[in-house]
Amino acid sequence: MSSEAISRRHALELGLLGAASAGVGLVGLGGNGWPPFGPGSTVRNPAPGQGAALTEPDVLRAVDGVLQVDLRAAPADVSLAGRTAHVLAFNGSVPGPTLLLAPGDRLRVRLVNDLDEPTNLHTHGLEVSPQGAGDNPFVRVDPGEAHAYDILLPADHPTGLFWYHPHHHGMVAGQVFAGLYGAIVVDRDASATAGERLLIISDTSLAADGSVAVVSPMDRMAGREGDLVLVNGQARPVLEGRTGATEHWRVLNACTSRYLRLSLDGHPMSLNGFDGRPLATPHDVTEIVLAPGNRADLTVTLPAGTTQLETLAYDRGSGRGMGMMGGRPPSSRGATTLAIVRATGTTSGAGAVPPAAPGPGRRPAGRDLRSASVARSRVLELATGMGMGMGDGGMRFTIDGRSFDPERIDQQVRAGDVEEWTIRNTSPMSHPFHLHVWPMQLVRTADGPVTVVDRRDVVDVPADGEVTVRIAFDRFSGRTVYHCHILDHEDLGMMGTIAVG
Ligand SMILES: [Cu+2]
């Protein structure tokens, strides 16, 4: 299914085909020889460009507690699924290099903008200062310019998988979709990552000439989803291992809008941590849902033979009352194979790690905010509605009735307070809510009270649903943002500012 076909179907349902075709740069993807990655696709035979061994991005390590790195954002030609793709990349690779840090380290990034539009950098999930040269989403780096970030990780920073991507309002979805993202691994021993796999899952769509597809306003409102789902920039790579071996997988959903519902052909996987925060009690799952931005720390015992790591169909919105969406769910795509896992040898093979082995660098889950005294409770309302201002008769994406304004302070919080936030979604599609700097501890979801310590930086708020979290606004003060991590929704205004101090 090409994005053109989807867009045309949207349009046909709405009788808007003429307007859609005339007004936007729909890019044809049909007939270009792509394998059917779309709905219902569970192709087992590798097509050209697939079936290569999984590779991982280059790893840049801190030296003497400092990781000094130049990240150059620029157009690049890379090989995707056996074709040359014209993408945007950090240092010429998709994903960008992996930044490996230990708690207490200092990350000094010189971001060089060789794009033809503004950009900046966000260190997603890191518990670091949002001020000045820190993880500051208000920084704007214009074309031809550079910005020096200087980010200090606290000595007790949680260990796990985090990531970086541009955060310049209005351009985030396009830049991430085009290839600008990379992993940050925080580990107590920044040299010991052997026996682990990093799986960065992303999606994009390419036009027939290899350029990144231009998406329609309707695709932006739904949240664009690519036809190509990639693991470390590869289409359907192969993970080779030994039968019965226990592997540690760190998985990132770097997709612009796509939810991942991961399954290893139904085999159990142990969930050790979420969003870079270890769980106090790892537990077995047969599938795990990652909203855009989420990460999972998994332990996997490799089943004999060949299995598929898939993302299963997931409906992130009923589409009811969607106006421009015409009643079509924004996402209910079929299963897609992400990678092939091929295990050989015997289950008693040497080298297998005992299943009880903890994930690397595990830390206690930290202070349980359910027993903290709450200084203030707030309700934030995520909403969509018909509105003016987009120039295409489209929808407004708001928090508390307002679109993003970087000059405004939407939430003023006293430093040191614990607050309880109920995030309410009155719209007919899911919105993954992301707060920078301070993690959110789940208190109540649609399933009822949360009985374990579960801290996240992206909390999915289902359509017509709400989630209650507690947040300790300690350690850092300053101004930053919270927003929907369907990056098109963020660009369309579903973002607010918070000032702590
Ligand atoms: Cu959203």
Residue 309: inside a domain, yes or no? no
Q: Ligand 1 centre and the CA of 463: distance in Å? A: 10
Model confidence pLDDT, tens digit, residues 461-471:
999 999 999 99
Q: Ligand 1 centre and the CA of 249: distance in Å? A: 27
- Position 331 scores a pLDDT of 53
Q: Which residues pair with 119 in a beta bridge?
A: 141
Q: Ligand 1 centre and the CA of 132: distance in Å? A: 28
Q: Ligand 1 centre and the CA of 291: distance in Å? A: 11
Q: Ligand 1 centre and the CA of 9: distance in Å? A: 22
Model confidence pLDDT, tens digit, residues 445-485:
999 999 999 999 999 999 999 999 999 999 999 999 999 99
Mean pLDDT lowest for which of 22-26, 282-286, 427-431, 492-496? 22-26
**How far, in Å, CA of 242 to CA of 231, rounded?**
20
Structure tokens at 391: 């120039």
Q: Ligand 1 centre and the CA of 486: distance in Å? A: 5
Structure tokens at 46: 């590798």
**How far, in Å, CA of 346 to CA of 439, rounded?**
42
Of the two residues 360 and 409, the one the predictor is more confident about is 409
Pick the last residue of a domain from 193, 225, 250: 193
Q: Ligand 1 centre and the CA of 252: distance in Å? A: 18
Q: Ligand 1 centre and the CA of 12: distance in Å? A: 24
Model confidence pLDDT, tens digit, residues 154-174:
999 999 999 999 999 999 999
Q: Ligand 1 centre and the CA of 316: distance in Å? A: 10
Q: Ligand 1 centre and the CA of 62: distance in Å? A: 35
Residue 92: inside a domain, yes or no? yes
Residue 271: inside a domain, yes or no? no
If you ran DSSP here, which 8-state letter would residue 437 be given? S
- Position 191 scores a pLDDT of 58
Q: Ligand 1 centre and the CA of 384: distance in Å? A: 9
- Judge contact between 133 and 183, C-beta under 8 A: no
Mean pLDDT lowest for which of 47-56, 102-111, 485-494? 47-56
Mean pLDDT lowest for which of 92-101, 149-158, 349-358? 349-358
- Position 51 scores a pLDDT of 80
Pick the last residue of a domain from 193, 218, 249: 193
- Judge contact between 187 and 361, C-beta under 8 A: yes
**pLDDT beyond 70 at 99:** yes
| Band (394; pLDDT cuts 50, 70, 90) | confident
| Band (80; pLDDT cuts 50, 70, 90) | confident
Q: Residue 471: which of 500, 441, 448 has the closest Cα?
A: 441
| Band (194; pLDDT cuts 50, 70, 90) | low
- Judge contact between 495 and 181, C-beta under 8 A: no
- Position 346 scores a pLDDT of 76
Q: Ligand 1 centre and the CA of 346: distance in Å? A: 46
CATH of the domain at 143: 2.60.40.420
Share of the chain above pLDDT 90, in %: 74
Residue 406: inside a domain, yes or no? yes
Mean pLDDT lowest for which of 196-205, 300-309, 323-332? 323-332
**pLDDT beyond 50 at 127:** yes
Residue 126: inside a domain, yes or no? yes
Give the length of the chain.
501
Q: Ligand 1 centre and the CA of 430: distance in Å? A: 6
- Position 335 scores a pLDDT of 84
| Band (192; pLDDT cuts 50, 70, 90) | low
Residue in the block written with tokens 């260190």:
123
| Band (75; pLDDT cuts 50, 70, 90) | very high
Residue in the block written with tokens 């590869």:
234
- Judge contact between 189 and 200, C-beta under 8 A: no
Pick the last residue of a domain from 135, 163, 193: 193
Q: Residue 253: which of 228, 229, 224, 277 has the closest Cα?
A: 229
State the CB neighbour count (10 A cutoff) for residue 91: 18
Q: Ligand 1 centre and the CA of 27: distance in Å? A: 24
Average pLDDT over all residues of the chain: 85
Model confidence pLDDT, tens digit, residues 360-377:
444 555 689 999 999 999
What are the backbone dihedrals phi and psi of residue 175, each rounded to the nearest 5 degrees, phi first?
Answer: -75, -40
**How far, in Å, CA of 445 to CA of 39, rounded?**
29
**How far, in Å, CA of 397 to CA of 402, rounded?**
8
Residue 199: inside a domain, yes or no? no
Q: Ligand 1 centre and the CA of 281: distance in Å? A: 30
Cis, peptide link before residue 358, omega less than 30° from 0 = no
If you ran DSSP here, which 8-state letter would residue 293 be given? T
415 Cβ neighbours under 8 A, 6+ residues apart: 473, 474, 477, 500, 501
Average pLDDT over residues 307-324: 74
Mean pLDDT lowest for which of 189-193, 319-323, 334-338? 319-323
If you ran DSSP here, which 8-state letter would residue 258 be given? -
Structure tokens at 162: 């985090």
Model confidence pLDDT, tens digit, residues 214-252:
999 989 999 999 999 999 999 999 999 999 999 999 999
- Position 81 scores a pLDDT of 78
**pLDDT beyond 60 at 358:** no
Q: Ligand 1 centre and the CA of 303: distance in Å? A: 36
Q: Ligand 1 centre and the CA of 491: distance in Å? A: 10
Number of domains observed in the structure of the chain: 2
Q: Ligand 1 centre and the CA of 251: distance in Å? A: 21
**How far, in Å, CA of 298 to CA of 252, rounded?**
11
Q: What is the H or E stretch that residue 5 is in?
A: helix 3-14
Q: What is the H or E stretch that residue 177 is in?
A: helix 172-177
Q: Residue 36: which of 6, 8, 1 has the closest Cα?
A: 1
Q: Ligand 1 centre and the CA of 174: distance in Å? A: 15
What residues does the ion ligand 1 have nearby, CB within 5 Å? 431, 484, 486, 489
Residue 100: inside a domain, yes or no? yes
- Judge contact between 114 and 95, C-beta under 8 A: no
Q: Ligand 1 centre and the CA of 123: distance in Å? A: 20
**How far, in Å, CA of 456 to CA of 441, rounded?**
6
Name the pairing type of β-strands 66-80 and 106-113.
parallel
Q: Ligand 1 centre and the CA of 322: distance in Å? A: 13
Residue 311: inside a domain, yes or no? no
Domain carrying residue 163: 59-193
